Structure 1
């Protein structure tokens, strides 16, 4: 099953030799690529070593059991150990198989988190703020950095829209299945009769685009500047620092007004636009390759309802894998592993099934 791992130690030695080369550090992109590959190969080598050792132990126990001259108690002990070893072997095989799956080229990238209010008016806007806090706290637990790129606040503490750059180790690999419609069911503070309202917000997870990923011609862009404004039309500053950038070939529009500097707002808007364009191109490419898209957990479509947060019941339900956990307070507080890991595991299991087919 793992014939191609027989030379894994040799491959690991080659990578370690490359990392010890001072010249490699001068090329940071190549250096980071080798570091990531070394990390994966190192994990594979460790797991494969444990796997081989376990297989040898199992063979030894089987030989002991077959030896009729052995002490009966020792044979029974060997049989019991063999059962435990068989379970460990299955787990190791699965862990190794997951590492051998083809890597998503975006897994190591930073992401743009875009959260927008959908149906539900002010309550939806308030839930945008709740989800942003949830993702921010999760990011903090992962030692990731969160930088707000653009926001459209309302006067009661919510947002019609907020866009943030989350940077750190393996951000996209952890959050890539968060795209979709997130529904909230709760009694709003403004509800006097205690009725439960259902609102929805849309989450988009877009991998950050690098300069080498996408080239945009200057004549494809149109820039507009205007005066920033806050909730209720309140003036944020008295200069035309807000920036709107339009990509003319696609019609994509990005606005940014969070910074007081027009230059900084322009840089942030371009950063978001670049990521959206690359995401659009990747989506179109993917659609051509696979029309039914059954190889994903759900479709990944941002119009698809993926999760419901029911406050009266303290329940969070992920509709793609029929997962329900009664830990809403913890999840909203940033304990996203409760719902993220099962979805990732489900995706990996489906990928392994296809690999074995």
Structure 2
């Protein structure tokens, strides 16, 4: 009797990844498992067929051979169960697929857990972010107990192998012809029993403490950047490696500058006279004040770029610019004499001279007039 295509058996495409194959097999195993279909011989055959397909398609070497040569690559003529010198034990396969439900695969021993990673949010001023700074931070975390060296046992004593699970951390339960494992209830999955616990950490091998760390922030960091401090997270269980500490940067808003990547932007007020006649104004930079030359007839919104006065990137070392946007500040609190002078200036710039002195204004109002003329036609 010819065998069905393994992909067809599991109902997956030939491009399916291992996660899809595992999901499909889990669905079929739950449906056709012999313990759930004791009087259905057809279900047992389908269960066996699905298990065989799963065994081949989740093994990279077997799958590659199957894709190229079909069932000839995995049939009995190549030896053992399927051309590769014997098949996997079914309880291993079932434990692998359903391990997340029943507590792990066959023969798996409990491993001490690595410590958790931690995150610390650090606020910086723009000046600190641009120039770099060293800061001390306080981090509440779990640290390894230095009294018992993380073992959890009182000094001079030691933990004993759990007599229930014999150090495996798991116990087996037989259900039909397959084995399900679960954490050992006696040692809570640790594999060891501490009869005389350390009085400092109470048998946990670690305890809560606030650590003080010195963190060097490199020049040029920005909001969203982070620094990893290896091994400065929570201590692991029973001497397992500690996690890492991630220091997340947040740069506060500045009263003068706005940062965009490596560039800085600021708005600079200039006088009515400087805009019309030209002149120089002092503008701030992160390195001090510099002179900015304003050409005559400068309009509000004009941009001036000061090369190399921005931020040096922490990633590639590139130096940004400072971009200054000028706006004309209207005079306030004028005396009667000053107002009269402005009226004289306005009169001298109006009439036939308006197009010469105020080309944008004249052009705008000419356009407005044409717009309304078109509406009334």
Pairwise TM-score range, normalised by the shorter structure: under 0.3
With normalisation by structure 1, the TM-score equals 0.18
Larger radius of gyration, structure 1 or 2? Answer: 2
Larger RCO (alpha carbons 8 Å, 6+ apart):
1
With normalisation by structure 2, the TM-score equals 0.17
